[in-house]
Amino acid sequence: MFSFSPNEIEQFEESGYFFPITVLSGDEVKVCRDSLERFEASQGGSLKSSQRNKAHLLFKWLDDLIRDPRILDPVEQLIGPNILCWNTLFWIKESHSKSFVSWHQDTRYWGLSSDKVLSVWLALSPASVESGCMRVMPGTHRGEVLPHDDRYHEDNMLTRGQEITRGVKETEAVLMPLEPGQISIHNYRIAHASGPNNSGDRRIGVSMHFMPPDTEQIVGNWDSAALVRGEDRQGNFEPTPIPEKDFDPLAVEFQQKAARAMSEVLYAGAERNTAKL
């Protein structure tokens, strides 16, 4: 079982990130990647934007992963024994693509009340400096939410191309390269970004967003989450169904409703909604 040292927990609280932790073997990563890419081949192209969010409702192996002790043990040590998974989200940059993620803080857009929400980012292919791994601004999760501007750049993977306009010092950024099967963890308040993929392989990551059950959705009227450990005494989120197989029809129907509700939250107050749902 993975265990943080007291020092590492203190460091996480101060800096807002931790990496790497190896959670999957090479064989296990291959099973996940093959399943994703078999599905993409069957639909004739990469995941569509409507399939990126709440993806554990589409892929059974991803629902298994959000319940995997190798992921939940470190999460529990950071946010406590009762854990909801709010979302799972694919981040795929094709080889030699200009796709990038501008500096942003997720707390500004997700409509969640808690300061304790964590993103666990799992690499399913090499996330190197060359392929555009994530980088973070240590400590920014502890300050005010920084000003953002919606820029809608066509290569920006964020919904509205939101970008922090002040308060990021690129020279102080920390790169978080990961090997396939490794995770990084960051507090969703931290400023983070990533560059283009200049490598010959796809950069495939999937993030899993965990939170304590006393979190509330304060922008949308309805939201959902999976109870993955402990108990939920508050019941602030509708429980997501557990798929029995990939593309289980009931779970797919729920995913479509949940992804639409999430999109409304992410675009709340935006000048333009460019979602393709």
What SS3 state is found at 195? coil
Q: Which is nearer to ligand AKG, 47 or 242 (CB)?
A: 47
Residue 242 per-residue DSSP state:
P
Residues in the chain: 277
Q: Considering the rule CB under 6 A, would residue 159 count as an interface residue with ligand AKG?
A: no
User: Which residues, 65 to 104, sit near ligand AKG by CB under 6 A?
Assistant: 91, 101
Rounded CA-CA distance 143/81 in Å is 26
User: Which residues, 134 to 153, sit near ligand AKG by CB under 6 A?
Assistant: 134
Q: Considering the rule CB under 6 A, would residue 211 count as an interface residue with ligand AKG?
A: no
Q: Considering the rule CB under 6 A, would residue 205 count as an interface residue with ligand AKG?
A: yes
Rounded CA-CA distance 217/271 in Å is 22
Q: Which is nearer to ligand AKG, 112 or 134 (CB)?
A: 134
Rounded CA-CA distance 20/73 in Å is 14
Name the token pair of 22: 């190896």
Q: Which is nearer to ligand AKG, 117 or 251 (CB)?
A: 117
Using CB under 6 A as the binding criterion, the count of chain residues that bind ligand AKG stands at 10
Residue 151's nearest CA partner among 136, 135, 162 is 162
Question: How many CB atoms are closer than 10 A to CB 98?
Answer: 15
Q: Which is nearer to ligand AKG, 98 or 238 (CB)?
A: 98
Q: Considering the rule CB under 6 A, would residue 237 count as an interface residue with ligand AKG?
A: no
Q: Are 70 and 2 contacting, i.e. CB atoms less than 8 angstroms apart?
A: yes
Q: Considering the rule CB under 6 A, would residue 60 count as an interface residue with ligand AKG?
A: no
Q: Which is nearer to ligand AKG, 184 or 255 (CB)?
A: 184
Binding ligand AKG (rule: CB under 6 A), the pick from 86, 103, 121, 210 is 121
CB of residue 106 vs ligand AKG: minimum separation in angstroms?
5
Q: Are 15 and 143 contacting, i.e. CB atoms less than 8 angstroms apart?
A: no
257 φ/ψ angles, rounded to the nearest 5 degrees? -65, -45
Q: Considering the rule CB under 6 A, would residue 207 count as an interface residue with ligand AKG?
A: yes
Rounded CA-CA distance 119/188 in Å is 6
Q: Considering the rule CB under 6 A, would residue 168 count as an interface residue with ligand AKG?
A: no
Angle at 235 between CA 143 and CA 62, to 5 degrees: 75
CB of residue 99 vs ligand AKG: minimum separation in angstroms?
8
CB of residue 167 vs ligand AKG: minimum separation in angstroms?
17
Q: Which is nearer to ligand AKG, 201 or 232 (CB)?
A: 201
Name the token pair of 31: 């099973």
Q: Which is nearer to ligand AKG, 187 or 240 (CB)?
A: 187
Largest CA distance in the chain: 48
**Binding residues for ligand AKG (CB under 6 A):** 91, 101, 106, 119, 121, 134, 192, 194, 205, 207
